[in-house]
Structure 1
């Protein structure tokens, strides 16, 4: 097989505050990076040693060129990135006010990755990919939703392992309750599901008032609900493994037979939580494809997430394999 991992979904230029601790109104300097969960995961996995590719779309503009150029520098395959005329490549502005304020502003008017089509998917040879990662945001609008489902069906037919990163962004859905409706229908196509406690709760929303977003922290909402109900629903859908990220505490692995396994994290001083979940996914997929088993793979994933929260960005700070193994050894090993 040519690639270890193919990811599907949004891509953007991310503008991070370089004034750590400054309120959003007081930001004076911004740094540039590429972003979007599929991008971050592809870059993170590539730096660890996997061969990765990404299905996304950009506009015919300099920002799209920046995204392509940066991915090429990271040696991520860009042959499946589509340029869509009449759209504008997207951007995200990120504030960093540790320990718990990380406001995000999305610029996604006519976002190119909302216009991925079934015809574009038909150009992909899924037999060349060992694993496929879908992100929840890719399921938010048509025509990309149908293209995403079709891509997953094609990948699954080739025996490819299907990962789902729940990736809940309330502002990217016309109705937050539609998020759960859509993802619950998608679950039977998945092998391994990854999400935070809040993202799982979002899958069970029945009232939009259950979601509270403070300080524009779109990636860290407060959501009311019964997480145990959602966990049972996910496990009954046919998935093989559910990984529930619990921040600094680590991750809990849930299996369909009722088994649970807690894998501890790595305590660090938090600078920026943005991108930690994507780094976690990169690490877990790497370990899984090495046949490490859930515990060791999740410890690597926890380490990758811990590494990123000490940095000022996402994929541009992703660790190499040697760096993260040294990090783990310095903190007691696997």
Structure 2
């Protein structure tokens, strides 16, 4: 571990089943695809790999199935430099995401399976791991009770919390109040508006807008940080790359605007390759890109 800040991710670990096609089929229609891949995924695991590739000390808390997908995912995460000693095999199947990529667009169906075991009770068994972290990252592909418990432990111990509210669901105001940074995309932000009535809650928001960059709400004003322009191959995992990059930058004490610029660079580079984790850049690649 050394002197590196510790980033902990509590979240989902999935296997992505990716089909690439020219078009998405309409109801009742069958189309021929161009390519099929099986790639490591899950928003939690994606964010863990993004941060680890950037050189951070990253530990993952989650669940996989006792199947070949689960074994392969644990091995892969470990090879990427993620500490998986707090990922536990359970009896369910490993979570999956079925992804259709067409014309630079992607559509995703997630089956949580083992991820449903990341409950409040399970997270409580990892209290010391969370308490010893510098930054905690969460998403919503695990039960909300697990998210709430992780946030509660983090705030009791002065840990900075980033919540990526995806896939979107209703979030209680008291949960949002405990989070330090909320990173929705534009669709998620629209659905969160009713829980963000207070100015101090809006100022937790880092709004990711894809090719339009990132927006911050500070002092009652919106500031936009432009996206980097690249040749886009696949946007899958771009948001997760941003969150991983943001966490690494914040853990290195960068001001929020600079941290968002760094996250933008990580996200931009991730879209230049196919696949979520397979496209995520290293710290050296990001530095060279920014220069």
Structure 2 match to 1:29: 35
Q: For residue 53 of structure 1, give the secondary structure of its aligned residue in structure 2.
A: strand
Structure 2 match to 1:165: 164
Q: Contact 1:235 / 1:241 at 8 angstroms: preserved in 2?
A: no
Match of 2:191 among 193, 202, 223: 202
Q: Are 1:156 and 2:162 an aligned pair?
A: no
Structure 2 match to 1:250: 213
Q: Contact 1:184 / 1:234 at 8 angstroms: preserved in 2?
A: no
Structure 2 match to 1:260: 222
Q: For each residue in 1:116-167, what CA deviation from the matched residue of structure 2 results, as whole angstroms up to 9, or x when unmatched?
A: 23342233213321111111333xxxxx332321221111111100111011
Structure 2 Cα separation of the partners of residues 96 and 78 of structure 1: 29
Using the TM superposition, give the Cα deviation of residue 183 of structure 1 relative to its aligned residue in structure 2, in angstroms.
4.5
Counterparts of residues 176-195 of structure 1 (less than 5 Å):
179-180=169-170, 182-195=171-184
TM-score of the two chains, using structure 1 as the length reference: 0.78
Q: For residue 236 of structure 1, give the secondary structure of its aligned residue in structure 2.
A: helix
Using the TM superposition, give the Cα deviation of residue 23 of structure 1 relative to its aligned residue in structure 2, in angstroms.
4.7
Q: Are 1:292 and 2:254 an aligned pair?
A: yes
Structure 2 Cα separation of the partners of residues 317 and 32 of structure 1: 14
Q: For residue 106 of structure 2, give the secondary structure of its aligned residue in structure 1.
A: coil
Structure 1 Cα separation of the partners of residues 271 and 22 of structure 2: 14
Match of 1:73 among 69, 79, 96: 79
Structure 2 match to 1:113: 115
Q: Contact 1:14 / 1:94 at 8 angstroms: preserved in 2?
A: yes
Question: Unaligned 5+ residue runs, structure 2?
Answer: 26-30
Structure 2 Cα separation of the partners of residues 137 and 117 of structure 1: 11
Closer, same or farther: CA 274–149 of 1 in aligned 2, 3 Å: same
Q: Contact 2:131 / 2:153 at 8 angstroms: preserved in 1?
A: no
Structure 2 match to 1:98: 103
Q: For each residue in 1:78-131, what CA deviation from the matched residue of structure 2 results, as whole angstroms up to 9, or x when unmatched?
A: 11112222x1112222222123x32223344xx111122334223321332111
Q: For residue 82 of structure 2, give the secondary structure of its aligned residue in structure 1.
A: coil
Structure 1 stretches of 4+ with a deviation exceeding 6 A read none
Structure 2 Cα separation of the partners of residues 20 and 234 of structure 1: 44
Question: Unaligned 5+ residue runs, structure 1?
Answer: 139-143, 170-178, 205-228, 330-334
Q: For residue 232 of structure 2, give the secondary structure of its aligned residue in structure 1.
A: coil
Q: Contact 2:21 / 2:35 at 8 angstroms: preserved in 1?
A: no
Q: Contact 2:131 / 2:157 at 8 angstroms: preserved in 1?
A: yes
Structure 2 Cα separation of the partners of residues 106 and 116 of structure 1: 16
Structure 1 Cα separation of the partners of residues 282 and 203 of structure 2: 28
User: What's the RMSD between the two structures over aligned residues?
Assistant: 2.2
Using the TM superposition, give the Cα deviation of residue 42 of structure 1 relative to its aligned residue in structure 2, in angstroms.
0.5
Alignment size in residue pairs? 282
